[in-house]
């Protein structure tokens, strides 16, 4: 009481000498009893957004901002996209630890919403506490090239640019089919896809190529996994990305 009186007398709050915590619930420990505190959970989610490779996209793209209205002019396209949208929602809702969550293959032309739905799934999966990584196939191949062409023994596990693609809970590969195709890139792609399938680690792959174009471009050992281990979801309609720009 004496200390508090002196503090007040000198213009300070009575609790001036007490520790100041950002979170009064857990005193900044991150845990409320045996449970993770909500402040820690929020911190991990924000870190997940940042490390996913989709930082900016996650700010604007979600299931709530994905509008099926852009497809209504074409009943068949609308029906296709409604089915794809519902399948994507079901995927994120059922994504859980300790189970094989499966893989999705998004197939369709540019501007139909493949990246938007990928981002929407990523946001929800990160919010559940899972590690998600997103990148284009070109950037992924570049990382494999960097690893390949460094001097032998000059790379540690901590410095391996490809490790994140193998270790994350959900890997999202965008723009499959835009990479330069040669024996090296095909080998890298097969190794990545096959390893993750064997580990029951989930993937979402998007491509502008049709199923027949994929079969012509890639060896059977790759396409057999794409069509045998992934659920193919078609995207249809006009260029939604262009329509959104016109509406702005």
Instruction: Give the list of residues 6+ apart from residue 240 with CB closer than 8 angstroms, or none.
Output: 70, 71, 111, 112, 113
Instruction: Give the list of residues 6+ apart from residue 58 with CB closer than 8 angstroms, or none.
Output: 49, 52, 119, 122, 123, 126
What are the pLDDT tens digits along the chain (248 aa)? 677 777 677 777 766 666 776 677 788 787 788 877 776 766 766 776 777 777 778 888 999 999 999 898 899 999 999 999 999 999 999 999 888 899 999 999 998 999 999 999 999 998 888 889 999 999 999 999 988 877 555 555 557 889 999 999 999 999 999 999 999 999 999 999 999 999 999 999 999 999 999 999 999 999 999 999 999 999 998 777 666 655 65
Phi then psi dihedrals of residue 233, to 5 deg: -120, 115
Q: How many residues does the chain have?
A: 248
Q: In angstroms, rounded to a whole number, what is the distance separating the alpha carbons of residues 171 and 132? A: 6
CB atoms within 10 A of CB 210: 14
Inter-residue contact 202 to 105 (CB < 8 Å)? no
Domains of the chain from N-terminus onward: 1-36 (no CATH), 44-247 (3.40.50.300)
What CA dihedral angle connects 104, 92, 53 and 196, to 10 degrees? Answer: -50
């Amino acid at each position: 009481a004496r200390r508090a009186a002196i503090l007040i007398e000198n213009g300070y709050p009575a609790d001036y000498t007490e520790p100041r915590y950002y979170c009064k619930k857990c005193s900044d420990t991150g845990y409320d009893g045996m449970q993770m505190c909500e402040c820690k959970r929020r911190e991990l989610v924000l870190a997940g957004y940042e490390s996913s490779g989709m930082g900016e996209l996650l700010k604007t793209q979600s299931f709530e901002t994905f509008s099926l209205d852009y497809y209504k002019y074409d009943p068949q396209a609308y029906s296709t996209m409604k089915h794809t949208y519902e399948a994507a929602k079901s995927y994120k809702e059922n994504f859980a630890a300790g189970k094989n969550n499966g893989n999705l293959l998004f197939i369709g032309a540019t501007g139909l919403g493949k990246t938007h739905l990928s981002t929407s799934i990523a946001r929800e999966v990160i919010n559940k506490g899972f590690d998600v990584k997103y990148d284009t196939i070109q950037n992924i191949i570049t990382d494999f090239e960097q690893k390949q062409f460094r001097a032998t023994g000059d790379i540690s596990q901590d410095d391996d640019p490809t490790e994140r693609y193998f270790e994350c809970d959900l890997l999202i590969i965008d723009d499959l089919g835009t990479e330069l195709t040669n024996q090296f890139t095909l080998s890298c792609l097969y190794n990545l896809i096959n390893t993750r399938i064997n580990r029951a680690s989930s993937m979402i792959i998007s491509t502008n190529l049709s199923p027949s174009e994929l079969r012509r471009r890639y060896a059977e050992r790759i396409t057999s996994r794409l069509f045998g281990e992934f659920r193919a979801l078609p995207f249809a309609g006009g260029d939604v990305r262009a329509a959104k720009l016109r509406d702005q």
